[in-house]
């Protein structure tokens, strides 16, 4: 007894002169969506510190009753409990009961003391127990204990345990639920697995509370009568795993000093994610197996794969992100890390350059055999359209060419605009991947990009010319609520709003059956614009579309560049696969939100203009209404078209004179070959008087193998370039419509038939 007294006095004396170490309590970092809903917790120990006012009195009483009934009457050590435990252990011949107080348990876990039964460990535990008792009040010690103790299933602290077991905030626990958590402390990985034992332990805690006068016997009986219902342990801890992984990456880039503490620092990260839209995205991509045929596995990963990313075009806030079929199987985030050829989904950048150059939408270009220098092996490059014939042999204006995704017309426009000019504009609009500035096949999506880049580029159009920077993190707070990092939208005007509005209006025609649009079966019941994309042999299929409120890019393809097939074995298209996913997502994501259209800028006017239509065998003048940039309405005279050197070249190649309404009599124009100003095809001048239009890639620029797709090892995939492109309804670019539900399917526009006027 004397020895024990001296030892106790020594501990107290030593404690009096020894400062209390500051505990480093690891806490889980919690990620929230834009509406404050929990998306994920990142932790090594899943812990969130509860404030004293969050802890219900019933839980405090239950823990004291179960773990240390004399907690408020001793000073860190309970001689009664120690003596009782020693007697029970002696009777049993083994350790069956501990005598540690709540303060001793806190000292042990707070400072990570080992459980070895050594004098050194016991002395440190006793020292820290005394320091805690002298430094903090009993209520403060109990709060610290409830934030520190392990409750099982990875839950450290009562705040996490309340959500883990009951799916509710800590301050909403019932008496029975408080007793359940107190019961779990004695066997945290035992009781939740054995509900009957857990209920028995819970009921004992309630009886003990009544015995100690904390509750009435009637309250104990009512609580004991309640069934024990726990939240299933197999519910996922992380929602939107690809997005969470992206947030981790961005945090490391934006705030690297916090990245090392991410799993222990207890940060609160508020993000741009919308969990409702994320759920819609995950449900939409889950349709992939209905839309495509399986392609086996590549490096153990099922193929084909899918990616979807959605942005708020007004701010750049990322609202939804899916980077693959299943994060556990394939954590590669294809939405931001996989560069693939976009096919005709790149054409909006080309036509933005065209309209920005004040070319009218009614400008006609003939879809006919054309040859340009710079093909493989020194041969001329000859673009073709999808389909048996490869050419419409008809005049297409810009709206018609975009709607059916015509490749031949797109390459001709690229020849006129020049790849370097289009690439520079695409970079201003948000494309950051390297783009070719030498090849006309840039028009057909030769250069690889990511879905996030395409979504950003299209968002510039949806935002009427203002480019946004995609971002995922709104702010980061520390465990005390101090804001450590904040991010606001970054916008920059890169296009005139009139140009962006015109391009958007043209892209609306992709959904219009009157134009045979490739997305004519993909309407979502509100104003929308978009574009399909399908690369050679269906190795990559895309749909990128937008409304004023949301832009989404969807990619479907195989990691090893296998062709994507429909369930029946035919090649997949942007409209039949990616478009279907886009449609399902947009309908669900925007459900309940009012439909909006884009406000027309003052610099856009409606006027009637003359254009050429019909086949090259029977070209016709036609008047129709269209939107134009103010000050750039074509002259009210069809003869003005005949002054365009490109039109003259197309007519000369066709050997036909246009017919139709003319504003003045033309007695001197009896028709070809006597039409003044027109020459035989072999001598027809280019725009600058040369034999061919200037601007094709120089001979030898396209070396053999360039423009090919490559697998993940860098090997060229035969035929994997931008290819014949998307192929379209009526023999244009994108294969149109796909295999749609009967209620939505639109008939094909026909094979190589003239495009009907709007």
* Catalytic residue ranges: 67, 344
Strands (E), 461-572: 466-468, 473-477, 483-486, 491-493, 529-534, 540-546, 551-557
What is the crossing angle of helices 347-356 and 497-508, to 10°? 130
End-to-end CA distance of the chain: 105
What's the CA gap between 294 and 115, in Å, rounded? Answer: 54
Give me the long-range contacts of 194-203 (CB less than 8 A, separation at least 24): 195/228, 195/230, 198/228, 198/230, 199/228, 202/176, 202/228, 203/179
C-alpha span between 555 and 564 (Å, rounded): 11
Which own/partner pairs from 376-383 qualify as long-range (CB within 8 Å, at least 24 positions apart)?
Answer: 376/702, 376/703, 376/704, 376/706, 377/704, 378/699, 378/700, 381/440, 381/441, 381/696, 381/697, 381/702, 383/407, 383/408, 383/410, 383/411, 383/440, 383/441, 383/444, 383/724, 383/725
Location of structure tokens 């708020």: 312
- In terms of phi and psi (left: phi > 0; alpha: psi -120 to 50; beta: otherwise), the region of 229 is beta
Other CB atoms within 10 Å distance of the CB of residue 94: 7
Gap between the Cα atoms of 384 and 614, Å rounded: 19
The DSSP result for 119-144, as a single string, is HHHHHHHHHHHHHHHHHS-HHHHHHH
Give the contacts of 652 (CB within 8 A, at least 6 positions apart): 678, 679, 680, 681, 684
> What's the distance, CA 634 to chain centroid?
42
C-alpha to C-alpha distances, 41 to 30, 476, 558, 567, 743, nearest whole angstrom: 4, 14, 32, 39, 44
Alpha helices for 590-687 (secondary structure H): 645-654
């Amino acid at each position: 007894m004397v020895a024990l007294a001296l030892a106790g006095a020594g501990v107290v004396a030593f404690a009096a002169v020894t400062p209390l170490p500051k505990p480093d309590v690891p806490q889980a970092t919690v990620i929230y969506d834009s509406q404050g809903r929990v998306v994920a917790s990142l932790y090594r120990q899943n812990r969130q510190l509860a404030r004293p006012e969050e802890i219900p009195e019933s839980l405090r009483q239950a823990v004291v009753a179960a773990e240390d009934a004399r907690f408020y009457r001793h000073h860190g050590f309970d001689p009664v409990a120690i003596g009782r435990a020693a007697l029970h252990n002696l009777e049993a011949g083994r350790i069956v009961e501990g005598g540690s107080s709540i303060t001793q348990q806190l000292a042990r876990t707070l400072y990570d003391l080992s459980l070895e039964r050594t004098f050194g460990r016991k002395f440190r535990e006793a020292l820290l127990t005394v320091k805690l008792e002298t430094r903090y009040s009993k209520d403060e010690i109990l709060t610290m204990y409830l934030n520190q103790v392990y409750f099982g299933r990875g839950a450290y602290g009562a705040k996490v345990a309340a959500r883990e077991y009951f799916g509710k905030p800590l301050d909403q626990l019932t008496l029975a639920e408080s007793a359940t958590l107190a019961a779990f402390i004695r066997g945290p990985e035992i009781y939740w697995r054995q509900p009957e034992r857990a209920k028995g332990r819970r009921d004992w805690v309630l009886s003990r509370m009544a015995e100690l006068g904390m509750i009435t016997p009637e309250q104990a009986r009512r609580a004991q009568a309640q069934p024990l219902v726990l939240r299933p342990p197999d519910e996922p801890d992380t929602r939107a795993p690809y997005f969470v992984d992206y947030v981790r990456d961005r945090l490391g880039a934006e705030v690297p000093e916090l990245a090392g503490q991410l799993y222990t620092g207890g940060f609160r990260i508020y993000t741009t994610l919308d969990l409702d839209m994320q759920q819609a995205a995950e449900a939409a991509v889950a349709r992939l197996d209905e839309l495509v045929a399986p392609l086996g596995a590549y490096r153990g990963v099922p193929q084909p794969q899918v990616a979807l990313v959605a942005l708020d075009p007004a701010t750049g806030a990322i609202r939804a992100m899916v980077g693959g079929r299943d994060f556990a199987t394939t954590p590669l985030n294809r939405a931001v890390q996989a560069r693939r050829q976009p096919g005709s989904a790149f054409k909006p950048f080309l036509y933005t350059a065209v309209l920005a150059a004040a070319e009218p939408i009614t400008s006609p270009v003939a879809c006919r055999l054309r040859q340009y220098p710079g093909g493989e092996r020194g041969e001329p490059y000859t673009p073709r359209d999808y389909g048996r014939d490869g050419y419409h042999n008809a005049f297409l204006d810009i709206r018609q060419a975009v709607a059916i995704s015509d490749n031949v017309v797109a390459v001709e426009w690229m020849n006129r605009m020049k790849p370097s000019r289009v690439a520079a504009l695409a970079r201003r609009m948000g494309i950051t991947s390297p783009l070719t500035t030498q090849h006309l096949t840039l028009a057909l999506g030769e250069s690889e990009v990511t879905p996030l880049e395409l979504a950003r580029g299209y968002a510039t159009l949806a935002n009427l010319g203002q480019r946004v920077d995609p971002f995922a993190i709104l702010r980061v707070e520390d465990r005390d609520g101090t804001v450590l990092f904040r991010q606001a939208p970054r916008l920059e005007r890169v296009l005139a709003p009139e140009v962006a509005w015109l391009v958007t209006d043209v892209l609306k025609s992709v959904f219009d059956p009157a134009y045979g649009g490739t997305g004519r079966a993909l309407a979502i019941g509100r104003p929308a614009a978009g574009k399909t994309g399908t690369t050679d042999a269906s190795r990559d299929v895309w749909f990128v579309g937008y409304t004023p409120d949301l832009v989404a890019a969807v990619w479907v393809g195989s990691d090893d560049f296998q062709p994507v097939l429909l369930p029946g074995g035919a090649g997949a298209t942007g409209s039949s696969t990616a478009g279907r996913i886009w449609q399902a997502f947009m309908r669900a994501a925007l459900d309940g939100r009012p439909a909006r259209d884009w406000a027309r800028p003052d610099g856009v006017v409606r006027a009637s203009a003359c254009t050429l239509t019909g086949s090259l065998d029977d070209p016709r003048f036609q008047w129709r209404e269209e939107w134009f940039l103010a000050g750039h309405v074509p002259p009210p005279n069809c003869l003005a078209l005949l002054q365009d050197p490109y039109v003259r070249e197309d007519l000369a190649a066709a050997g036909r004179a246009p017919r139709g309404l003319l504003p003045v009599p033309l007695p001197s124009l009896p028709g070809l070959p006597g039409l003044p100003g027109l020459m035989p095809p072999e001598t027809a001048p280019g725009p600058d008087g040369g034999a061919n239009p200037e601007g094709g890639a120089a001979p030898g620029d396209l070396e053999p193998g360039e423009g090919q797709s490559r697998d993940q090892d860098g090997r060229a995939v035969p035929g994997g370039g931008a290819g014949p492109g998307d192929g379209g309804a009526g023999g244009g670019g994108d294969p149109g419509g796909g295999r749609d539900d009967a209620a939505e399917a639109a008939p094909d526009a026909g094979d190589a038939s003239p495009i009907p006027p709007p």
